[in-house]
Amino acid sequence: MGLNEELLSLVGDIYDAALDDSRWTTTLGSIVDLAGGQGGGLVRIGARGEAVISHAVGVDPAYVRSYIETYEPFDPSRAVLHAPVGQIQTIGDWIDVDEFRKTMFYNEWTRPQGLEDAANILLEKSTDVISRLSIMKAGGPVDRKMYRVISYITPHMQRAMHVRQKLQQQNALEMTSARTLDALRAAILLLDVNGHITHANTSAQEVLDEADVLRSVHGRLATSDLNADRMLRQALAGTVLGERAMTGLSLHLAARDGSHYVGHLVPLTAGRRKTFGAGYEACAVLFVSKAAIDTIVAPDLVRKLFKLTPAELRVFLSIIEVGGVPDVAKSMGVAETTIKTHLARIFTKTGTKRQADLVRLVAAFTPPIKI
């Protein structure tokens, strides 16, 4: 295989490594070998200016450690951080060779390894990341072949670093997004255009496991209601035409035990929603929640905020859970007039006028996250 063919093959390896970080050490070794070097390293500069060797080949681990712990500040190649991005720099670009051979760095770190020169390239430099590639040469200065190889691969290395950074940012976003979704009370399912589930939060997984109102059939979402299922498929198909074709959809779903669920399908076809959906290969998100008020979480907050007495709070919750005044009076074993008296005080303290207003009030105080 000629040099050109080897370079083309190496470029493929570089992009593979951008997608799979475990490939970088082998790929870096191939770069060093093809360039005629003895060793090499991918160096990242941390937030506090410290050097972090992401990958290294051809250098004894003891020398890697001593470089980080002791010698890195004395390395003339650090000056590449102030050079133009993508420009190859050698030791001679920063210091006279004879002067370099008098330095502690050369005599204690470079010469014991048989090294004489190094080609250094600043691959990326931004407020978020600084990284450089170093290929070390033994037996003499950086030669024409090393220049040629490094010149050829440098733009590909730069793109690979950019791809790697974007993937890391995307992974971080997905992890944060997944944790946030899992904390929500509502069942949340991210769906592709064919109805396949690309992500389900913890609450959604619980609903799917029950296989009642929603279930997964070979990874595809199915509902308990054929009409709702048809409406869902049509809405998802509409997302391929853009957001105007689908502005949202509400679904009513009934469980076997008679309880009711409400679903809201929202397209992920524009703006930040589109960016979020792309991370999960989804075109829409389905929110599903049980049509019931959580009277376990909100009462203490409502009682404190509106200064309800224990008796008034009990009536407040009974109105929501049981129903009208007659039923509440019967369930509590008191006269209807007593319930009406408490209810009148509750209306005054909460600024409401009807029993329906109390239901909405509790709904407003029910947190969307699991606690």
Q: What is the pLDDT of residue 368?
A: 46
Rg (CA), the chain: 33
Q: What is the pLDDT of residue 323?
A: 74
| Domain range 184-290, CATH class | alpha beta
Look up residue 69 and give its two tokens: 């712990």
* Residue 271, C-beta contacts closer than 8 angstroms, at least 6 positions apart: none
Asked if domains 3-173 and 184-290 share a fold, the reply is: yes
Mean pLDDT score, 89-97 = 90
Comparing CA positions, the residue from 122, 278, 123, 67 lying closest to residue 192 is: 278
The Cα-based distances of 197 to 165, 183, 233 in angstroms read 27, 19, 13
Instruction: Give the number of other Cβ atoms within 10 Å of residue 112's Cβ.
Output: 11
| pTM strictly above 0.75 | no
Q: What is the pLDDT of residues 285-332, one digit of tens each?
A: 888 877 555 545 556 767 777 888 988 888 888 887 777 888 888 888
Sign (positive or negative) of CA dihedral 148, 152, 153, 154: positive
How many contiguous H segments (helices) and E segments (strands) does the chain have?
Answer: 14, 12
| Domain range 299-365, CATH class | mainly alpha
Residue with tokens 């200064």: 307
* CB crowding 157-170: b at 16 or more within 10 Å, else e: bbebbeebbeeeee
Q: What is the pLDDT of residue 369?
A: 43
Domain 3-173 architecture = 2-Layer Sandwich (3.30)
Q: What is the pLDDT of residue 125?
A: 85
Q: What is the pLDDT of residue 219?
A: 93
Where are the domains positioned within the chain? 3-173, 184-290, 299-365
Do residues 196 and 239 touch, judged by C-beta distance below 8 A? no
Q: What is the pLDDT of residues 35-78, one digit of tens each?
A: 999 999 998 876 666 778 889 999 999 999 999 899 988 999 88
